[in-house]
Structure 1
Amino acid sequence: MFAKILFLALTIQSAFTFITGALGDIYDAREAASIAHMVLEHITGLGKLDRIVHKERKLTPEQNDALKHAIAALQRLEPIQYITGSAWFYGLEFNVTPAVLIPRPETEELVEWVVQDAAGKTDLRILDIGTGSGCIPISVKSALPAASVSGADVSEEALEVARSNSEKLKLDVNFFALDALNPQQMQALENYDVIISNPPYITQREQAEMQQQVWGFEPSLALFVPDNDALLFYRHIAVTALEKLNRGGFLYFEINEAFGKEVVTLLQGLGYEGITLKQDFFGKDRMIKAGIAV
């Protein structure tokens, strides 16, 4: 029945109804409708208003095939962002592939914190470690055009996505390869005024509590840390940042809500000053800022 319906000449309106029906057992009505709009915009190239105006327009055979593949992928729980190849973050549209994490709204709050703190400052040098799609450094560059901004990642595939985003959005960010767990590579870093990182922070035992849309499709390399060393990346990055941050510089982390106090204790033990633990808009411990003495 599914295939027969798809090979009929669907209109934009009937395609919307068909998508929401196909997703009814997976998502609630509101989320299914939101996904249907994203799928149809991706397939037709038309915005929501144009799709309303042209709701009786029939899909082409190519669009019909694309719709069929999109629904099959969604029913396998593949995230819509990987199907469309894009995600919005901080007012910008980023390319995304399964080589990178899908940008999250909570991370926008981290970017905004950095931007607010940096307002009015000049000649800043900013580095994002574990950059993925490049959403953090590119968004920072968009808000702080005078800053020199870089992003680093261990994954060459992720760096390709990040560079494509920098080129598409016409924002000059330098991307380079870096293994945050390699002391020699970390010691070779230049000095910066601000270092940011949203590193892997989900313990392996937490995987069972996550949605399959996350652990089944997003890169494990960017998500998980061992159960017995949840602060693995924070420790390596924070130790290096003590030497690589200029006087008066700041380190910003996105964190696992379950380990806020532990990260604060780690940073205190290393000698950081002015440590601030901040909650996201859900009221969960999500971000930390720590400073280097002037």
Structure 2
Amino acid sequence: MTFEEAGQAAKENLYSIYEENEAGNIAELLLAHVTQLNRAARLRQKDSMLTSAQQELFTNCLNRLLLYEPVQYVLQEAWFCGHRFLVNSHVLIPRPETEELAYWIKTSAKPGARILDIGTGSGCIAIALKKYLPDADVSAIDISPEALEVAQTNAEDLKTEIHFKLTDILDSNQWDFSNENFDIIVSNPPYIKETEKQQMRDNVLLFEPFTALFVQDKDPLIFYRHIILFSKKYLKLHGRLYFEINEALGKEVVALLMKEGFEEIVLKKDMQGKDRMVSAGLKSNY
């Protein structure tokens, strides 16, 4: 099978489960992974034959893709803020809207800021912020040892120093930060209500970690409440709290922040025009 034939075969198979443009993009990623060549190089060598090892890798990866496994998990990589991250089924796949959150923080953070990322997953937010702000002191926590292992690998691969800690943010007995206060606390916590599952695709539902995605309908703000209480204890005066949010719960998150003594609250839309991010600071007389 030539490079050109492999690309065509991948697209034709993927059309059965993805729209045309997405199938083409996934096929492009697959061929780049299999051949270790970019698109321009493959076009110049379109009549070159896949080796037996490349053919086997191509077939195995394509079969996994046809079972709805996300291409990022199949290839074990995702790009975030211009950097390649290891991802697997223990962590969420980084999304473009989360890149917007990281960039928002970058534009407002002061030099030497102490930053905490809650629910770090792959470490993408914490590592991106350290790349953006080299003199920042960045820490990150997660409830999952497996996720922290992925995050640590990413930090090492991307040559960033991040302080990782295993912590359940919903358990205040684990809030062991007695000698630490932060200028910035950021979190992209679970925020998808269980009733929203029916609107989601199988490549998310069947493969991405459930506990990192979903909250019960009866208490969709559970993580926000706990993180806000944590922030009231560990956020410095004039420090700021940043959230990624469910687009349907922006007003509720803002109301909760106001109730808990925060001010200068900003509800920000993402590039698709959806309420996606919130930032707030503690009142100076709190």
TM-superposed CA distance for 1:186, in Å, is 2.1
2:192 maps to a residue whose letter is I
Query: What's the counterpart of residue 61 of structure 1?
Result: 52
Cα distance in 1 for residues equivalent to 2:246 and 2:227? 16
Query: What's the counterpart of residue 3 of structure 1?
Result: none
1:253 aligns with 2:243: yes
Q: Determine helix, strand or coil for the equivalent of 1:82.
A: helix
Q: Determine helix, strand or coil for the equivalent of 1:59.
A: coil
Query: What's the counterpart of residue 50 of structure 1?
Result: 41
Query: What's the counterpart of residue 87 of structure 2?
Result: 96
TM-superposed CA distance for 1:173, in Å, is 1.3
Query: What's the counterpart of residue 262 of structure 1?
Result: 252
Q: Determine helix, strand or coil for the equivalent of 1:252.
A: strand
Cα distance in 2 for residues equivalent to 1:161 and 1:44? 25
2:238 maps to a residue whose letter is G
**1:114-193 equivalence runs, <5 A:** 114-118=105-109, 121-186=110-175, 188=177, 190-193=180-183
- 8 A contact 2:243–2:278 mirrored in 1: yes
Cα distance in 1 for residues equivalent to 2:227 and 2:22? 37
**Which of residues 250, 267, 271 in structure 2 aligns to 1:281?**
271
Cα distance in 2 for residues equivalent to 1:223 and 1:144? 28
RMSD: 1.0
Query: What's the counterpart of residue 20 of structure 1?
Result: 11
**Which of residues 202, 206, 213 in structure 1 aligns to 2:203?**
213
TM-superposed CA distance for 1:286, in Å, is 0.3
Query: What's the counterpart of residue 7 of structure 1?
Result: none
1:85 aligns with 2:76: yes
TM-superposed CA distance for 1:123, in Å, is 2.3
2:150 maps to a residue whose letter is V
Query: What's the counterpart of residue 108 of structure 1?
Result: 99
Q: Which runs of 5+ in 1 are unaligned?
A: 1-9
1:225 maps to a residue whose letter is V
1:235 aligns with 2:221: no
Q: Determine helix, strand or coil for the equivalent of 1:230.
A: coil
Cα distance in 1 for residues equivalent to 2:244 and 2:85? 20
Q: Determine helix, strand or coil for the equivalent of 1:27.
A: coil
TM-superposed CA distance for 1:136, in Å, is 0.2
Cα distance in 2 for residues equivalent to 1:49 and 1:176? 43
Q: Determine helix, strand or coil for the equivalent of 1:290.
A: strand
- 8 A contact 1:187–1:240 mirrored in 2: no
**TM-score, normalising length: structure 1:** 0.94
Cα distance in 1 for residues equivalent to 2:283 and 2:218? 32
1:95 maps to a residue whose letter is L
**TM-score, normalising length: structure 2:** 0.97
1:26 maps to a residue whose letter is I
Range with greater deviation from structure 2 (188-197 or 11-20): 188-197
Cα distance in 1 for residues equivalent to 2:116 and 2:38? 36
- 8 A contact 2:177–2:234 mirrored in 1: no
Cα distance in 2 for residues equivalent to 1:286 and 1:160? 28
Q: Which runs of 5+ in 2 are unaligned?
A: none
Cα distance in 2 for residues equivalent to 1:17 and 1:47? 16
Query: What's the counterpart of residue 293 of structure 1?
Result: 283
Cα distance in 1 for residues equivalent to 2:7 and 2:43? 11
2:281 maps to a residue whose letter is G
Query: What's the counterpart of residue 4 of structure 1?
Result: none
- 8 A contact 2:7–2:27 mirrored in 1: yes
Identity level (%): 48
- 8 A contact 1:273–1:291 mirrored in 2: yes
